Amino acid sequence: MMKKTAITVAFGDGIGPEIMSSTLRVLQEAGASLEIEEIEIGQRVYERGVSSGIEPGAWDSLRRTRVFLKSPITTPQGGGYKSLNVTIRKSLGLYANVRPCVAYAPFVKTLHPKMNLVIVRENEEDLYAGIEHRQTDEVMQCLKLISRPGCEKIVRYAFEYARQNHRKKVTCFTKDNIMKLTDGLFHKVFDEIAKEYTDLEHDHMIVDIGAARLADTPEMFDVIVMPNLYGDILSDVAAQIAGSVGMAGSSNIGEQGAMFEAIHGSAPLIAGQNLANPSGLLRAAMMMLVHIGQGEVATRVHNAWLCTLERGIHTGDIFSEGNSRERVGTDKFTESVIQRLGQKPTQFTPVLYAEGDGEVKFLPPPTRRPPAKKELVGVDVFLHWRDGLPDKLGELLSQTSNKELELKMITNRGVKVWPQGLPETFCTDHWRCRFMAQTPDGTIQHRDIISLLERVSMTGLDFIKCENLCNFDGEPGFTLGQGQ
């Protein structure tokens, strides 16, 4: 008898309880050796006034087992609630989200029968840092944070995953033609790390054309690594065009733990009607079994599931005349998988999880470089102002320039409007005013910024924040204004 592995399980909301019961039944019948701890998350917890959707006590179980099989939850609409998924991923440091998207043609209808790709999505950074502010009457801000260690971890993970799972190519998607510093860093780190994996092909695409190719010719891709937001969106697209969002599972991997879930949501409209396809959660559970060293059980479950699909026993979301034989509910689908445990598919290639397959567990820690030589060379002061045209603001602010800092440029939503802006540019009430050092060595001190802010405030202007402008080893750590 295999030693039991403790896992934490949450049944979630909507179709969550049905697909979790189905999945646990299959795991049990397949001989998985698990000790299950159940926690409650989601809607009922939110309704009890816990804005995170998870009770403090539930963390004890997660921190003890470090393996979480999770059903989807319903995120309440409106403000005041934090996304539970984002909280769990970030609190447990689950930096890699791995989403295999595979076509099961000809049994599951798809336009892309040869599609077989894995999206590796960065899970902790980017716009999901959740740092948002209302800065003026008209403008909201969301901070996009991308770090070098974060990029190194996810990019290395993607290459290691490709190697361990016998894949040939890693593609990177970014938008670094526009976001030169944040996405630019992701791309740069990708190019650096790719050099260490000469056995694998690699390429980079701007995310817009990459997304178009993914939707049109997904069979050209193998492993795709990307920052958080693009990965979130494009993995749903990929799962859907492979057959159905109901079919894809995902793992969230970190050094301290792992979470496994279907990629779809709680599908409240079909909840409780025995209609849901449990395959996404079942696929996630297979990934979990590999993760905890029960690859043999994962092999049995995966093959039985493939047998069920190729017999044409399909839930409504993947049922199609000509491809399917029998339309079944969640229960019957589950029974069909259980009946086929021990069988191998004859149309699909049978699966065999070997030692070392699956996700990457231990990576070398990201390298911490020695700090760069950092010089403070200016400051962007952001203002809330709506009392006139840009030239008037330029005139007011020019009075605040002194021998240390001089006003060089004003932009509105990133476009230069002073000096010599175009009258056609639409201006909101949110202004970025760039002051550059005028000192002999081109650098300033913190106190110069503080005294500038005092002068700005004295002129009656409402500054909402400032952003230091620094050179790092002589390279500007800031971008130019559009039109500058």
Distance in Å, CB of 269 to ligand NAD, minimum: 6
Written as six digits, the tokens of 60 are 């004890």
Query: Shortest distance, CB of residue 103 to ligand NAD, whole angstroms?
Result: 17
Nearer to ligand NAD, 73 or 94 (CB): 73
Smallest separation, CB 63 to ligand NAD (Å): 20
CB closer to ligand NAD, 270 vs 466:
270
Q: Min. distance of Cβ 114 from ligand NAD in angstroms? A: 24
- Nearest distance in Å: CB 306, ligand NAD: 18
Q: Which is nearer to ligand NAD, 276 or 409 (CB)?
A: 276
**CB closer to ligand NAD out of 276 and 449:** 276
Residue 83, class by beta-carbon neighbours within 10 Å (0-12 exposed, 13-18 middle, 19+ buried)? middle
Number of CB atoms found within 10 A of residue 199's CB = 9
Of the pair 164, 274, the CB lying nearest ligand NAD is at 274
Q: Are 383 and 462 in contact (CB under 8 A)?
A: yes
Closer Cβ to ligand NAD, 264 or 300, answer by number: 264
DSSP string, 355-389: TT-SS----PPPP-PPPP-EEEEEEEEEEE--SS-
Side-chain-facing half-sphere of 102: CA atoms under 13 Å: 12
How buried is residue 440: exposed, middle or buried, by Cβ count under 10 Å (0-12/13-18/19+)? Answer: exposed
Sites of contact with ligand NAD (CB under 6 A): 15, 72-75, 85, 245-246, 261, 264-270, 276-277, 280, 317
Taking the complex as a whole, how short is the minimal distance between the CB of residue 251 and ligand NAD, in angstroms? 13
Closest residue to ligand NAD, judged by C-beta, is 265
How many Cα atoms occupy the beta-carbon half-sphere of 150 within 13 Å? 23
Judge residue 93's burial from the number of C-beta atoms within 10 Å of its C-beta, 0-12 exposed, 13-18 middle, 19 or more buried.
middle
Q: Measured between alpha carbons, how far is residue 374 from residues 439, 445, 471 in Å?
A: 16, 12, 6
Which residues, 6+ apart, have CB-to-CB distance to 371 below 8 Å?
none
CB of 417 to ligand NAD, least distance (A): 39
Looking at the Cβ atoms of 252 and 471, the one nearer to ligand NAD is: 252
Say how many C-beta atoms besides its own lie within 10 A of residue 140's C-beta.
10
